[in-house]
Amino acid sequence: MSTEGKRRNSAKAGDRADAKADGESVGALGSLPLLRGERIWNGSDFTGVNISLAIATWAFLVGGSTALLVGFQQGVAAMVIGNAIGLGFMILASVVASQRYGVEQYTILRPVFGLVGVGILVFTVILITEMGWSSLLAIMVGRAVTQVSNSAVGTDFGPESLMVTFFALVAIAVSWWILSRGPVTIGRFNKFIAPGLIVVTVFLMVFLVLNTSWNTLLTAAPLAPFEDDRLNFALAVEFNVGVGVSWYPVMGSLARLTKTPRAALWPSYGGLLVATLIAQIVGMAAALTLGDSDPTVWMLPFGGPILGAFILLFIAFANITSTSSIVYSTVLAIRQASGNLLSRVRWAWLCAAFFVLPSILAFFPGFMYTRFMTFVTLSGAFLAPMCGAIIADYFVLRRQRVALEDLYRHRNESAYHFHGGVNLAGLGAVAAGAIFYLVIYNPVTLTAQPIFGYITASFPSAIVGAVVYYVLARVLYVRRGVGGYGPVEKVERRA
Amino acid sequence: MDSTDATTASDLHRRLEEISAHEHGDPSRAPLSARDLTLFTLVSLGITLLGFLVLVL
């Protein structure tokens, strides 16, 4: 998920990696494998990047939403378990290969899904996931601004009022404007957003320490649980696994800028895990204390009319720049994945086209907020088996070796062309894993098999994705010598 | 060369040659070691167990 602050640094990284960083030539260097001198981050730098990614308003929202299902102690446990598992396999799938080869993450996916297969996933799973996140962030802006208006000038705008939609649309328009200026502008705004959000987190922590006792927190009831306690806990874990996995769309493209495999692996896990847990736990404690899962509701009671309004406006602005960053990384991926189709469309128009669906969704603020958990878990249903297939491909079948030149070759000239540009094993694995997920837990209808209470869904579906990929790839390609799965020496010769 | 890239095939070719000539065996291009991979798996499992510990305490 994706997925707010994390995109922020994706754009920041784009600033530094792109030789020509204006709106039209974004990503000019992005597609080439980076050289040693272009890898700018050591372990300490990358830890900082990941911490600033994870401290974001979405983490408050996740903390608040977890409080809907479980109390404080169970919530902490669910967050630790869910993020540890989700981040664990997401990082192995996204960070390692991109770091080693210095290649943008949707390019390094070509051996797993094929050029056309990557396009299919980018235009479905990734695009819908990011559109959902950006509309949610925009609606959060609408809610924050209407809260300020209600407090400052005595208006009475509800959380689902048309004014929420209006300000969400304004947020989308401003995001588009920032984005159309290119990644340099995004980077400039982002320089003070992450530190500001750290201050907001500390502010919430101080307020909670001053106003809530430990005992009150531990005994606070969840806000809107189901009847079955085991199901509530499993849902909370599953939700947090989904959140961990939702970092997938940007992590590889950031990790390629690190200097060694260790500088990519440990900082991404440690930085994301620790910062996410702190922000989410603070968010959950705030939700349990005030009895509302919406972060925009907490600030006025916590900070009073002036400080609270200031924080809300800051959160609104943070969400706008986050939305720009989400769209930046996604539109770059879309452009690369589209072949000739979108290569001549102007950057600003492409970004505008991205915002069409989020703008429509902004007319349903209540729906987006209440279905937030559904949306995160549903995107996890597809991202998790994707990760499983990638891990099986890169670590098991290819032994961490791909032929760099073949990543960029046309059609039949590339070892990764497969059948018409589609690695059937990759897409088959995602389909099988997603079906498995939806059978044991359907986030739309909220129906779950009894086994879901014990094993949840994302991690098992990642395993299903990995196994299906391994079997199909061996049957369809490895035995026939297709797909560049050959012996190490052969792959290295091609590279 | 990917047709959507702003870079040319010769840019790519030059870069691949540079990588092959100067960065073969460079630490930045090393695979993730089996030791790191095992440790990463164990740490992930350990933190997961820590979560269960929070639950039962």
List Cα–Cα distances, A317 to A186, A190, A396, in angstroms: 12, 10, 44
Q: Does A400 touch chain B (CB under 8 A)?
A: yes
Question: Is the pLDDT at A16 greater than 80, yes or no?
Answer: no
What pLDDT, on the 0 to 100 scale, is given for residue A495? 52
Q: Does A31 touch chain B (CB under 8 A)?
A: yes
Q: Strand ranges (DSSP E) for B1-57?
A: none
Question: Is the pLDDT at A261 greater than 80, yes or no?
Answer: yes
Q: A301-314 b/e with 16+ CB inside 10 Å = b?
A: ebbeeeebbebbbb
Q: What is the DSSP letter of A345?
A: S
Looking at per-residue pLDDT, the higher value among A321 and A204 belongs to: A204
Q: Stretch A315-330: mean pLDDT, rounded?
A: 82
Of the listed ranges A155-159, A162-166, A180-184, A271-275, the least confidently predicted one is: A180-184
Residues of B in contact with A387 (CB under 8 A): none
Residues of A in contact with B11 (CB under 8 A): 32
Question: Is the pLDDT at A166 greater than 70, yes or no?
Answer: yes
Q: Which of A77, A102, A343 sits opposite B51 (nearest CB)?
A: A77
Q: Stretch A409-416: mean pLDDT, rounded?
A: 88
What pLDDT, on the 0 to 100 scale, is given for residue A273? 96
User: Residue A441: beta bridge partners?
Assistant: A448
Interface of B with A (CB under 8 A): 1-7, 11-12, 15-16, 18-20, 22-23, 26-33, 36-37, 40-41, 43-44, 47-48, 50-52, 54-55
User: Residue A172: beta bridge partners?
Assistant: none
Question: Is the pLDDT at B1 greater than 80, yes or no?
Answer: no
CB contact under 8 A, A261 and B31: yes
Q: Stretch A56-63: mean pLDDT, rounded?
A: 87
Question: Is the pLDDT at B43 greater than 50, yes or no?
Answer: yes
User: Residue A442: beta bridge partners?
Assistant: A447
DSSP string, A197-262: HHHHHHHHHHHHHHH--HHHHHHPPPSS--S-HHHHHHHHHHHHHHHHHTTHHHHHHHHTTBSSHH
Q: Stretch A298-321: mean pLDDT, rounded?
A: 89
Of the listed ranges A378-382, A386-390, B14-18, the least confidently predicted one is: B14-18
pLDDT band at A276 (very low <50, low <70, confident <90, very high): very high
State how far the Cα of A379 lies from the Cα of A327, in Å rounded to an integer.
17
pLDDT band at A492 (very low <50, low <70, confident <90, very high): low
Type of residue found at B35: R
Q: Is residue A428 part of a domain?
A: no
CATH number at residue A149: 1.10.4160.10
Q: Stretch A101-125: mean pLDDT, rounded?
A: 93
Q: Is residue A425 part of a domain?
A: no
Q: Total domain count for chain A?
A: 1
What pLDDT, on the 0 to 100 scale, is given for residue B24? 83
What pLDDT, on the 0 to 100 scale, is given for residue A331? 87
Residues 54-83 of A with CB under 8 A from B: 73-74, 76-82
State how far the Cα of A424 lies from the Cα of A431, in Å rounded to an integer.
10
Question: Is the pLDDT at A425 greater than 70, yes or no?
Answer: yes
Question: Is the pLDDT at A9 greater than 70, yes or no?
Answer: no
Domain boundaries defined on chain B? 9-56
What pLDDT, on the 0 to 100 scale, is given for residue A412? 85
Percent of chain A with pLDDT over 90: 65
Type of residue found at A440: I
CB atoms inside a 10 Å sphere around CB A262: 18
SS3 letters across A457-489:
CHHHHHHHHHHHHHHHHHHHHHCCCCCCCCCHH
Q: Do the beta carbons of residue A308 and residue A300 sit within 8 Å?
A: yes
Question: Is the pLDDT at A21 greater than 60, yes or no?
Answer: no
**pLDDT tens, position by position, A332-373:** 888 877 767 787 888 899 999 999 999 999 999 999 888 889
pLDDT band at A486 (very low <50, low <70, confident <90, very high): confident
Q: Which of B20, B28, B51 sits opposite A84 (nearest CB)?
A: B51
**Shortest Cα distance from A410 to chain B (angstroms)?**
6
Averaged pLDDT score across all residues of chain A: 88
State how far the Cα of B12 lies from the Cα of A31, in Å rounded to an integer.
9
Question: Is the pLDDT at A318 greater than 90, yes or no?
Answer: no
Q: Do the beta carbons of residue A491 and residue A403 sit within 8 Å?
A: yes
pLDDT band at B7 (very low <50, low <70, confident <90, very high): low
Q: Do the beta carbons of residue A417 and residue A115 sit within 8 Å?
A: yes
Q: Do the beta carbons of residue A183 and residue A328 sit within 8 Å?
A: yes
pLDDT band at A470 (very low <50, low <70, confident <90, very high): very high
Structure tokens that stand for A238 in this block: 């599953």
Question: Is the pLDDT at A23 greater than 80, yes or no?
Answer: no
Q: Do the beta carbons of residue B36 and residue A61 sit within 8 Å?
A: no
Assign B23 to helix, strand or coil. Answer: coil
CB contact under 8 A, A336 and B5: yes
State how far the Cα of A8 lies from the Cα of A48, in Å rounded to an integer.
13
Q: Which of A82-91, A122-131, A204-213 has the highest mean pLDDT?
A: A82-91
Q: Do the beta carbons of residue A53 and residue A207 sit within 8 Å?
A: no
pLDDT band at A374 (very low <50, low <70, confident <90, very high): very high
Q: Do the beta carbons of residue A295 and residue A61 sit within 8 Å?
A: yes
Expressed in angstroms, the distance from the first to the final Cα of chain B is 57
State how far the Cα of A440 lies from the Cα of A263, in Å rounded to an integer.
37
> Taking the CA of residue A269 as centre, how many other CA atoms within 13 Å lie in the half-sphere pointing to its CB?
28
Question: Is the pLDDT at A225 greater than 70, yes or no?
Answer: yes
What pLDDT, on the 0 to 100 scale, is given for residue A493? 55
Cβ contacts of residue A290 below 8 Å, gap of 6+? A297, A298, A301, A302
Q: Do the beta carbons of residue A160 and residue A365 sit within 8 Å?
A: yes
What pLDDT, on the 0 to 100 scale, is given for residue A345? 87
State how far the Cα of A294 lies from the Cα of A298, in Å rounded to an integer.
7
Q: Stretch A138-154: mean pLDDT, rounded?
A: 93
Structure tokens that stand for A141 in this block: 């802006």
Type of residue found at A212: T
Which among A380, A426, A335 is positioned nearest to A122, based on CA atoms? A335
Q: Which of A343, A400, A409 sits opposite B31 (nearest CB)?
A: A400
